[in-house]
Amino acid sequence: MNDSFNSLDFKANLTTTIEQYRQLIKLNPERAELHADLGSLYARQQNWQKAIAAYQQAIKLNPDFAGAYRNLARVLTQTGNQSKAVERWYQALQLEPNWAKAEKHYLLGNTLITHQKIGKAAQCYRQAIKLKPDFLAAYQRLGEILASQGKYRQLITLFRQGVKFNPDNPQFHFGLGNILAAQQQWEQAGAQYRKTIELNQNFAVAYYSWGVVLTQQQKWQKASDNYQKAIALQPNYWEAYHQLGNVLNQLQQWQEAIAAYQNVAQINPSFVPVYLQLGKIFCHLEDYQSALNSYQTALEYTTQSSTLEQQAVALCQEAIAQIPKPTAKDYYQLAKFFRAKSHFKAAIITYQQALKINPRFQSAYIDLQYTPTDPQLLEELIPFYQNIVSEHPNLDVAWGNLGDALSEQGRISEAIDSYRSSSYQRVIKIYPSLASFDWQHKKEQGPNFIIAGAAKGGTSSLYNYLSHHPQILLPHKKELDFFWKHYQKGTDWYLAHFPSISDQPDYLTGEATPNYIRFPVVAERIYQSFPQVKLIFLLRNPVERTISWHYHKVNHGQINSSLTDAIALELKQLENQDVAKLAQAGYRNPDNILGSLYFYQLQPWLELFNREQLLILPSEDLYNNPAQVMEQVFSFLDLPNHPISNYLKVNAGSYQNSDSQLKSTLTNYFQAHNRQLEEHLGIKFNWD
């Protein structure tokens, strides 16, 4: 009760006092103090607008009324008008600078900076320094302003003043040294760094900075000594190691320079220039493999299209060219690395170098088939392949790649001729006796089988095992991707990939494009074109396939995101969307989980084709019992069994094992989908 009465009394008294002041102002309208006092009374009432009007009137009557500016600033702050409040604080402190301590001026300067009032901020810092000559932070902030305005003479004068008033403070000498060094006044900068160290012998950055000055003066040994002192005081000082490496490089102390640079790489692995410098030293020492390793590490950390990336690629190419007798494998390994890091142009050029050394290096041709090629490089690749086939007309894979390049340029009839040459040469290379047969010029019948999915499910291994059967004659490459990517090129283009002799009843042919499973339109196109074809699907544990597909894209330079980030993003995208539609939508990014939703992907195929035309196999059966599964496949194709001595895995992925929590998340996600698939197909996959 008492509190309530006291509050009421206070309000009543305040109202009375305000009325009294209003009466006084009527009698003395020119007295600024009365208006300011009235403003303070309104502020106590939290009647902000009337308070502001009263203070403004006081200022109008007396423009030098510092107290009115201060109180107006407080009220403006209360009403959220920070910009105007800052201005009023500035005006108040300009009128009465000694009213506040140096720290107050400094803080106001910082606030003015945030409001882009640079000139006024500078004045606040100057006042802070005047009130407190050893206020280092104020010197530094004022120095930043002067430097940004290019006022270097004023900047030097400012810090000389700081040194004059603070001769025993090493920070002021150090700051002056930095300014002089930035102006390349090396001797004077060095003198300030020496003084800094005299005052504080444990000042690691001062040793480093003096070392930089000595480096500029080419006083290599003294610079080296200073960098080493900085490192002794601060063992993880990677910048000092880097500069030390540069000095040792100049002194041609190669091993010591290598050690210094390697310390940089250990402390700051993402500092790209150090790998470039290491590579150059290794090249000088003729250790070209170490040089390539260094340049490739640099590329791990560069951003695409950056200057450092371009330098690293060029240095890689220079290093391998310096090897006295580089092999095709040397170039091939480098090209694979370029491709994995999305440096496709450099990869293609480097693959070509491998083929110039060894035109029969088949792996280089295969990689080139799956490396994105821009139109300019196509102009160079076509004559490159034409030259190879003119010198090696029996080289089937070169004919195939020439056909691909011609296809990309829309030269379809020339491409068809190249594919037919490729198919013919491939078959007679494997079975020379077939060269004596009467080959028809054009294949008329469609493929007998298509391995239509799923990607990273063992399709490359299955395709390889099929190639060993004497009655199966395959095209020049595994993935033709006709029914999705190249459908507009026409059926003649597609059939040209297959040997025409496979139209004879004793032989079968087929292809494997594992992404076919993902596109309903592909199922329709195949059914319309070749309704009797047999289709094989390998379905791998969706958790393992999801992870493997992500790393496949990483290793081929298609993406660079982490698995954890990609899965988290895709799970979020799938939360409130129609999974059935998404699973049949084709390519998306990311698409690791979508590509493993087999139930939805198989629906169009099951609806169009007779179940007897589809062979659906667990990939794990092929991995664990290849001979038994291949007997099943040959039976499906109406062929006699043809076991081989060694069932090697082909195109197996390479990646680190994923964490158990991520796998558990994926397992839980796929459980319901797997159960639905098993019930629909009547096949037990045992993936859970």
CB 96 within 8 A of CB 66: yes
Which pLDDT does position 4 carry in this prediction? 34
Q: What is the pLDDT of residues 522-546, one digit of tens each?
A: 999 999 999 999 999 999 999 999 9
Q: Which amino acid is at 283?
A: C
Q: So what's the pLDDT on residue 579? A: 80
Residue 457: how many CA atoms within 13 Å on its side-chain side?
27
The Cα diameter of the chain in Å comes to: 127
For residue 417, give every residue at least 6 positions away whose Cβ sits within 8 Å of its Cβ, in sequence order, or none.
496
Q: How far is CA 552 from CA 81, 525, 654, in A?
A: 56, 27, 8
| 441 within 8 A of 447, measured Cβ to Cβ | no
For residue 583, the model assigns a pLDDT of 72
pLDDT tens digits, residue range 258-306?
A: 999 999 999 999 999 999 999 999 999 999 999 999 999 999 898 877 8
Tens digits of residue pLDDT in 182-234: 999 999 999 999 999 999 999 999 999 999 999 999 999 999 999 999 999 99
- Give the phi and the psi of residue 615 in degrees, each rounded to 5: -115, 115
CA distances from 446 to 14, 482, 547, 586 (A): 100, 12, 35, 25
Six-digit token string for 302: 């560069």
Q: What's residue 3's pLDDT?
A: 37
- Tell me which residues of the chain have a pLDDT lower than 50: 1-6, 8
CA 465 to chain centre: 38
- Fill in the amino acid letter for 286: E
Residue 345 neighbours by CB under 8 Å, 6+ apart: 374, 377
CA 655 to chain centre: 18
Concatenating the DSSP letter of every residue in 613-651 gives GEEEEEHHHHHH-HHHHHHHHHHHTT------S-----S
User: Average model confidence (pLDDT) for the chain?
Assistant: 93
Q: Which domains does the chain have, with CATH numbers?
A: 440-681 (3.40.50.300)
